[in-house]
């Protein structure tokens, strides 16, 4: 049986560590970390994600502010809200929940966020700093994966890491983090995507396979080397009449058959997902303590 890389358990550990630090800050009379989230529209998934982030702030003792805006808000109005939060010294971290309505340019909004408050790690300043190996807020999902590899003592130095998916949120930063001169890191990295030819031949050479392609059960056993470490970033809701809820969650990896070959694997749900919020909280703590941008 492979090692099951438990993101729920690990995220709970991280939250406990953060809560302990917040208790110290409070005892010292310091400033409590404060995260602001901006939610545009009524997308169900976005509301769930933001709600979970606000709840997580309460769990660790952070202050939080949720700004709700109508779907019809203009780009100019949204940028004004972002700028107001930028200028508010009480707020340490700012996230704008994606996706945004089509009439708003995501790049404009991201670029407007002050790098010092960009706890999502999406601004050009933070992406550039991460690429150079400078102190930076690393995007929450890649950071969560790195932390899982570290806490499960997965050897990475000299290993071949194959990343499937090249999004700016997961795949691209993940490839940079795994190649850097650090632990986890020092991998030889191959970044693949939907246009990659002979993909199964490449994935079969991976010691560490990170799958973030957004396609349900895309990776099957024949694409995985015996003994590989498999990190599944995907999450998809599919109908399942056998479940009381009527649905179940699956990842980008066909779990049962791939687990039979892997030395370690993340489940869905309960793998990478919980780590994303834990990483966001960690970045907010760094922001509050001015540990990235001095």
Give pLDDT tens digits for 120-129.
999 999 999 9
Sign, CA dihedral 60-10-49-95, equals: positive
Superfamily of domain 140-273: NAD(P)-binding Rossmann-like Domain (3.40.50.720)
* pTM score of the predicted model: 0.94
Q: Is 166 annotated as a binding residue?
A: yes
Give pLDDT tens digits for 12-61.
999 999 999 999 999 999 999 999 999 999 888 889 889 999 999 999 99
CA angle 268, 274, 280 (to 5 degrees): 145
Could you tell me the two tokens for 71? Answer: 């779907």
Strands (E), 8-135: 34-40, 63-69, 93-96
> In the beta sheet, which residues pair with residue 224?
none
Which positions are catalytic? 53, 97, 120
Q: How confident is the model at residue 232 (pLDDT cuts 50, 70, 90)?
A: very high
Q: Is 167 annotated as a binding residue?
A: yes
Report, at the CATH architecture level, how domain 29-117 is classified: 3-Layer(aba) Sandwich (3.40)
Is pLDDT at 221 greater than 90 in this prediction? Answer: yes
Q: Which of 4, 87, 15 is nearest to 57 (CA)?
A: 15
Domains of the chain by residue range: 29-117, 140-273
């Amino acid at each position: 049986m492979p090692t099951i890389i438990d993101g729920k358990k690990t995220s709970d550990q991280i939250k406990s560590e953060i809560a302990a630090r917040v208790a110290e800050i409070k005892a010292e009379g310091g400033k409590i970390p404060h995260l602001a989230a901006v939610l545009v529209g009524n997308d169900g998934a976005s509301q769930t994600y933001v709600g979970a982030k606000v709840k997580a702030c309460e769990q660790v003792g952070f202050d939080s502010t949720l700004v709700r805006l109508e779907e019809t808000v203009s780009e100019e109005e949204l940028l004004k809200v972002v700028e107001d939060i930028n200028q508010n010294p009480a707020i340490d971290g700012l996230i704008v929940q994606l996706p945004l309505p089509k009439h708003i340019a995501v790049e404009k909004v991201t670029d407007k966020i002050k790098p010092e408050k960009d706890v999502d790690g999406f601004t050009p300043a933070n992406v550039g700093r991460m690429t150079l190996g400078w102190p930076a807020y690393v995007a929450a999902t890649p950071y969560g994966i790195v932390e899982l590899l570290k806490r499960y003592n997965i050897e990475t130095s000299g290993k071949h890491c194959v990343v499937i998916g090249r999004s700016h949120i997961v795949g691209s930063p993940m490839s940079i983090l795994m190649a850097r001169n650090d632990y986890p890191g020092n991998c030889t990295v191959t970044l693949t995507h939907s246009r990659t030819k002979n993909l199964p031949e490449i994935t079969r050479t991976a010691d560490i396979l990170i799958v973030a392609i957004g396609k349900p059960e895309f990776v099957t056993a024949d694409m995985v080397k015996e003994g590989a470490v498999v990190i599944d970033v995907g999450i998809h809701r599919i109908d399942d009449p056998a479940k009381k809820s009527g649905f179940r969650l699956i990842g980008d990896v066909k779990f049962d058959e791939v687990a039979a070959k892997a030395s370690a694997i993340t489940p869905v749900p309960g793998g990478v997902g919980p780590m994303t919020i834990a990483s966001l909280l960690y970045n907010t703590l760094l922001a509050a303590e001015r540990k990235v941008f001095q």
